[in-house]
Amino acid sequence: MIDFTMIWAAIIAFGVIMYVLMDGFDLGVGILYPFAPGEESRDVMMNSVAPVWDGNETWLVLGGAGLLGAFPLVYSVLLPALYLGVFLLLAGLIFRGVAFEFRFKATPATKGYWSAAFAGGSTLAALAQGIVVGAYIQGFETENFTYVGGAFDWLTPFSVVTGIGLVLGYALLGSTWLIMKTEGDIQEWAYRVTPKLLTGVLAVFLVISFWTPLVDSFVRDRWFSNLFVIWLLPAGALLCAAMIYRAVGRRSEGLPFVATMGLFIFTYLGLLASKWPYVVPPAYTLYDAASARESQMFLLLGVLFVIPVVLGYTAWTYWVFRGKVRVGEGYH
Amino acid sequence: MEFDPLLISRIQFAFVVSFHAIFPVFTIGLASYIALLEGLHFKTGNPAWAQLSRFWTKVFAVAFGMGVVSGIVMSFQFGTNWSNFAQMSANFLGPILSYEVVTAFFLEAAFLGVLLFGRDKVPRGTHLFAAVMVALGTFISSFWILVANSWMHTPAGVEFQDGMLHVRSWAEAIFNPSFPYRFAHMALASFLTGSFVVAGVSAWYLLKGHMVEANKKALSMCLWMILFLAPAQAVMGDFHGLNTLEYQPAKVAAMEGNWETQAGAPLLLFALPDQAAQENRFELGIPKLASLILTHKADGVVPGLNEVARDEQPPVAVVFWSFRIMVGIGLAMIAVGLWGLVLRLRGRLYQPGVFHKFLPVMIAAPFIAVLAGWFTTESGRAPWLVYGMISFAEGLTPSLTGWMAMASLIGYGAVYAVVYASGGYYLWRLIQGGMTDAEPGADEAGAHPKRPMSAGGPINPAMPAAPEKGEWS
């Protein structure tokens, strides 16, 4: 009998990393926004993500709906547990989402508010997502398949560090995206900030790597048992980091972004390996959380056909908007 | 002070879904209209179609953006405030909502980028294709979300097993008894909403003498739509009502304000339902008409609220009055269609007059009618989340406390107040700014070389002032 639960775990894992990579760079552009060299650069930065951000964010909605469809327990434990954090995440996404349209409609006197909404909303959303990662590593207090913890269990020094880590990580995706998509002053500036951001990301990476096994014996056992093959994951992440430093030094335009995506993928796989097979740590596994087999199958039938089509036309839209975004260029 | 998390969660859901719903209902209709305009321009090359398409695409961009961000909120509400409901119904609702994302949301989002920003980057045929895909996406989306909602009203094809609903028949669950009616009712509502907005703005531009050729065409198209669709909607609503009578008689009893099962029930025009006393005050009705409408017989028996236990009755006053608001506006819409026909037959459709001053006022009408309709059907389902299967109280998140729910309600209230006030203001400015007559390709980008990219485009400073009175003779 085919193990649909395992297939769904792979699909959801794929959806989540797609979201992280794709919305990651456009949130990152928002995080870097206030630090850009001048108002003209800010316009170019916004232009570089305006045609694609909506599609990128749709992967988050897929994450929500897909979890409800395939692993409802994850949905019905994590969202109550993260209740106030989810509100902050959504408030951030709302403000930065409407800023794309509103900033340009605004009078000069109020334009600054929407610039702030774009930057602040992006940063808040990234911080909230990073805190979710930290809260996930810590685990959730459950009884009888229901969350029973408090309103602020998710907010700890550890989760704040992971939150800052993700803000820096998304900013790195944003800066390397700008290296690829822009030229002149903005590109110069992006080349300068990228190594600094990477150093910050690596610092948080190290702190979390030492901190996690100390707070979580399950993770410690996973990494220090005989499963040496998983050490290839952090090794891959560090290799990607080295590639970014080198590629920026050599003024490569595409490689820094690709290597940053690699850094994210290896880190993400390392996180999954730490918790496997628990999806609602510390109590419930994939199989505890799975929906009914007939539901998994019904959804799988469609998704197997539709997701390749979605990837196809998404790739096509990126191709339509390929190349450098220039100062003063509107896509109209 | 203690807050009741159940009550606050219900208010919060009503609040966020109401603010969300007004955008899709507009953009579904408008997306089809834009695709039609693009198609007409592609075929005829008449620049008037391009002017209209460009202008309404700008409006669409702002409205769609607000719909998207408020929609993201919706996809998490089930989990944050109604996690038991989410868990119990996940085997059906999870796949349905996931299908909505993969078949509709991605389609809309990806092709919207090309529709808004790709006009000069892709061939004209491809741009038209993108417009059609966006319109198709909005329809597919409404299909799935109305499947989910209809199933909550008339659940079918499922059974409880270990505290979770399991799907026994996907066909029965998806094409549940109220779905075809609700889907048709909402599709018509979307087209009517789009028609009334475009008609109102076109009439206002005609009053101002702005872009007369294009706006004549738009006004004429919309009034044809209203003339046929408004009566069709009344007929559709009647079918939907009969379906509700069959499956949710308590809701119909509340809509009619009918406390006792009776033959020859009157149609109440006015009443103040008093739930505590289980009776109406100040009743004013037309004898036997409710029976005639609902059973097609003057002495037909209409079920009353006395057949439902008191704690399973919906809030009668809310259902009763929101239903009347919806029907009243629906009748006004039919009247507008006929008024337009009379003017057209007399050859005065494009002569600015009272009709053209009234149409802009009617822009608000479809939105109010849609919200009133949703209040009728959703309040009428109370106290059930899934009718007869899962109650509000059973569906609530167990760990949710009153102050948490209150904090997020205030938070959403504050965020939406800022975002929607701004959005409404910018839409108003966009419409006030008027249409531009630029040819596709010869974009206004050259005139504003440093502007950032925004699908809504710039506010046109060249909008002429209203002509003085007397110029219209």
Which amino acid is present at A40?
E
Is the link from the previous residue into A282 a cis peptide, with omega within 30 of 0?
yes
B7 Cβ partners below 8 Å, 6+ apart?
none
Q: Residue A331 is nearest to which of B98, B121, B397, comparing CB atoms?
A: B121
Q: Which architecture, in CATH terms, is A8-278?
A: Up-down Bundle (1.20)
Quickly tell me which residue has 């809260």 as its tokens.
A135
Rounded average pLDDT over B17-42: 94
B contacts of A64 (beta carbons < 8 Å):
75-76, 79
User: Is residue B120 very low, low, confident or very high in pLDDT (cuts 50, 70, 90)?
Assistant: confident
Query: CB of B306 within 8 Å of any CB in chain A?
Result: no
Task: Assess contact for B218 and B206: CB atoms under 8 A.
Answer: no
A325 Cβ partners below 8 Å, 6+ apart?
A44, A47, A48, A181, A182
Task: Assess contact for A169 and A24: CB atoms under 8 A.
Answer: yes
Mutate to test the interface with B, among A8, A22, A98, A316 (most CBs of B within 10 A): A98
Q: CA-CA distance, A260 to B240, in Å (whole number)?
A: 54
Render pLDDT for A149-163 as a digit per residue (tens, 0 to 9).
999 999 999 999 999
**A135's tokens:** 């809260």
Neighbour tally for B103: CB within 10 Å: 21
**Nearest residue on chain B to A76, judged by CA atoms?**
B83
A78·B79 Cβ contact <8 A: yes
Q: CA-CA distance, A142 to A294, in Å (whole number)?
A: 27
Which amino acid is present at B458?
P
Q: CA-CA distance, A208 to A264, in Å (whole number)?
A: 15
Q: Where are the domains of chain A?
A: 8-278
User: Is residue A107 very low, low, confident or very high in pLDDT (cuts 50, 70, 90)?
Assistant: confident
Q: For the residues of A109-133, what is the DSSP string, one character each?
A: HHHHHHHHHHHHHHHHHHHHHHHHH
A contacts of B94 (beta carbons < 8 Å):
65-70, 72, 75, 291, 295, 299
- Please write down the HEC assignment for all residues of chain B: CCCCHHHHHHHHHHHHHHHHHHHHHHHHHHHHHHHHHHHHHHHHCCHHHHHHHHHHHHHHHHHHHHHHHHHHHHHHHHHHHCHHHHHHHHHHHHHHHHHHHHHHHHHHHHHHHHHHHCCCCCCHHHHHHHHHHHHHHHHHHHHHHHHHHHHHHCCCCEEEECCEEEECCHHHHHCCCCHHHHHHHHHHHHHHHHHHHHHHHHHHHHHHCCCHHHHHHHHHHHHHHHHHHHHHHHHHHHHHHHHHHHHCHHHHHHHHCCCCCEECCCEEEEEEEECCCCEEEEEEEECCHHHHHHHCCCCCEECCHHHCCHHHCCCHHHHHHHHHHHHHHHHHHHHHHHHHHHHHHCCCCCCCCHHHHHHHHCCHHHHHHHHHHHHHHHHCCCCEEECCCEEHHHHCCCCCCHHHHHHHHHHHHHHHHHHHHHHHHHHHHHHHHCCCCCCCCCCHHHHCCCCCCCCCCCCCCCCCCCCCCCCCC
Query: CB of A195 within 8 Å of any CB in chain B?
Result: no
Rounded average pLDDT over A294-304: 93
Per-residue pLDDT at B448 exceeds 80: no
- pTM here is 0.91
A97·B116 Cβ contact <8 A: no
Rounded average pLDDT over B132-151: 96
Q: CA-CA distance, B399 to B155, in Å (whole number)?
A: 27
Rounded average pLDDT over B456-461: 52
A111 Cβ partners below 8 Å, 6+ apart?
A103
Give me the pLDDT at residue B466, please: 45
Give burial (CB, 10 Å; 0-12/13-18/19+) of B429.
middle
**B149's tokens:** 């909602």
Task: Assess contact for B307 and B301: CB atoms under 8 A.
Answer: no
Q: CA-CA distance, B48 to A47, in Å (whole number)?
A: 29
**B46's tokens:** 């008449």
Give me the pLDDT at residue B450, please: 38
Q: CA-CA distance, A75 to B78, in Å (whole number)?
A: 9
User: Is residue B441 very low, low, confident or very high in pLDDT (cuts 50, 70, 90)?
Assistant: very low
Q: Residue B399 is nearest to which of A91, A148, A298, comparing CB atoms?
A: A148
A295·B94 Cβ contact <8 A: yes
Rounded average pLDDT over A267-291: 93
Percent of chain A scoring above 70 in pLDDT: 99
Q: Which of B252, B123, B213, B189 lies closest to B435, judged by CA?
A: B213
Q: Tell me which H or E stretch contains A142.
A: strand A142-143
A contacts of B399 (beta carbons < 8 Å):
80-81, 83, 146-149
Task: Assess contact for B81 and B400: CB atoms under 8 A.
Answer: yes
Task: Assess contact for A297 and A57: CB atoms under 8 A.
Answer: no
Q: Rounded to the nearest 10 degrees, what angle do helices B47-81 and B83-100 cross at?
A: 150
Give me the pLDDT at residue B454, please: 60
Average pLDDT, chain B: 90
Which amino acid is present at B11?
I
A40–chain B nearest CA distance, Å: 7
Q: Residue B454 is nearest to which of A62, A100, A146, comparing CB atoms?
A: A100
Per-residue pLDDT at B175 exceeds 60: yes
Size of interface A-B (CB pairs under 8 A): 277
Task: Assess contact for A172 and A190: CB atoms under 8 A.
Answer: no
Grouping H, G, I as helix, E, B as strand and the rest as coil, residue A284 is strand
Give me the pLDDT at residue B469, please: 39
Rounded average pLDDT over A262-283: 94
User: Is residue B472 very low, low, confident or very high in pLDDT (cuts 50, 70, 90)?
Assistant: very low
Q: Residue A298 is nearest to which of B80, B170, B407, comparing CB atoms?
A: B170
User: Is residue B306 very low, low, confident or very high in pLDDT (cuts 50, 70, 90)?
Assistant: very high
Give the residues across from A142 on adjacent strands: A147
- Chain A, residues 73-112, CB within 8 A of chain B, namely 73, 75-81, 83-84, 86-87, 90-91, 93-95, 97-98, 100-106
Rounded average pLDDT over B130-142: 95
A79·B76 Cβ contact <8 A: yes
A contacts of B58 (beta carbons < 8 Å):
none
Which CA distances in Å does B321 have to B247, B270, B384?
21, 9, 20
A contacts of B106 (beta carbons < 8 Å):
55, 58, 62, 310, 313-314
B91·A54 Cβ contact <8 A: no
Give me the pLDDT at residue B162, please: 87
Query: CB of B420 within 8 Å of any CB in chain A?
Result: no
Rounded average pLDDT over A306-330: 88
User: Is residue B71 very low, low, confident or very high in pLDDT (cuts 50, 70, 90)?
Assistant: confident
B132 Cβ partners below 8 Å, 6+ apart?
B35, B38, B39
**Nearest residue on chain B to A82, judged by CA atoms?**
B80
> Positive or negative, the Cα torsion across A317, A323, A325, A327?
negative
> For the CA atoms of B301, B322, B335, B244, what is the dihedral angle to 10 degrees?
-40
Give me the pLDDT at residue B460, please: 52
- ipTM here: 0.92
Percent of chain A scoring above 90 in pLDDT: 81
Beta pairing class for B390-391 and A142-143: unpaired
Render pLDDT for B308-354 as a digit per residue (tens, 0 to 9).
999 999 999 999 999 999 999 999 999 999 999 999 999 999 998 99
Render pLDDT for B395-434 as a digit per residue (tens, 0 to 9).
999 999 999 999 999 999 999 999 999 999 999 999 998 8
A contacts of B456 (beta carbons < 8 Å):
101, 104-105
Query: CB of B112 within 8 Å of any CB in chain A?
Result: yes
Give me the pLDDT at residue B463, please: 53
Render pLDDT for B81-109 as a digit per residue (tens, 0 to 9).
999 999 999 999 999 999 999 999 999 99
Question: B397: number of CA atoms within 13 Å, CB side?
Answer: 34
Query: CB of B55 within 8 Å of any CB in chain A?
Result: no
User: Is residue B457 very low, low, confident or very high in pLDDT (cuts 50, 70, 90)?
Assistant: low
Q: Residue B78 is nearest to which of A43, A68, A101, comparing CB atoms?
A: A68
**B400's tokens:** 């949710």
Give me the pLDDT at residue A40, please: 87
Percent of chain B scoring above 70 in pLDDT: 92
Rounded average pLDDT over A299-310: 92
Give me the pLDDT at residue A2, please: 83
Rounded average pLDDT over A271-285: 92
Neighbour tally for B228: CB within 10 Å: 12
- Please write down the HEC assignment for all residues of A169-231: HHHHHHHHHHHHHCCHHHHHHHHHHHHHHHHHHHHHHHHHHHHHHHHCHHHHHHHHCCCHHHH
Is the link from the previous residue into B461 a cis peptide, with omega within 30 of 0?
no
Mutate to test the interface with A, among B20, B76, B81, B88 (most CBs of A within 10 A): B76
Grouping H, G, I as helix, E, B as strand and the rest as coil, residue A147 is strand
Per-residue pLDDT at B447 exceeds 50: no
Query: CB of A63 within 8 Å of any CB in chain B?
Result: no
Task: Assess contact for B88 and B164: CB atoms under 8 A.
Answer: yes
Which CA distances in Å does B167 have to A3, A293, B156, B172, B176?
19, 10, 9, 9, 12
Is the link from the previous residue into B366 a cis peptide, with omega within 30 of 0?
no
Give me the pLDDT at residue B443, please: 39
Grouping H, G, I as helix, E, B as strand and the rest as coil, residue A278 is strand
User: Is residue A108 very low, low, confident or very high in pLDDT (cuts 50, 70, 90)?
Assistant: confident
Q: Residue B95 is nearest to which of A64, A69, A91, comparing CB atoms?
A: A69
B contacts of A299 (beta carbons < 8 Å):
94-95, 98-99
Which amino acid is present at B70?
S
Write phi, then psi, for A143 (nearest 5 degrees): -140, 130
**Nearest residue on chain A to B70, judged by CA atoms?**
A94
Q: Which of B462, B459, B464, B456 lies closest to B54, judged by CA?
A: B456
A122–chain B nearest CA distance, Å: 13
Per-residue pLDDT at A294 exceeds 90: yes
User: Is residue A92 very low, low, confident or very high in pLDDT (cuts 50, 70, 90)?
Assistant: very high
Taking the CA atoms of chain A, what radius of gyration do you get in angstroms? 20
A contacts of B98 (beta carbons < 8 Å):
62, 65-66, 68-70, 299, 303
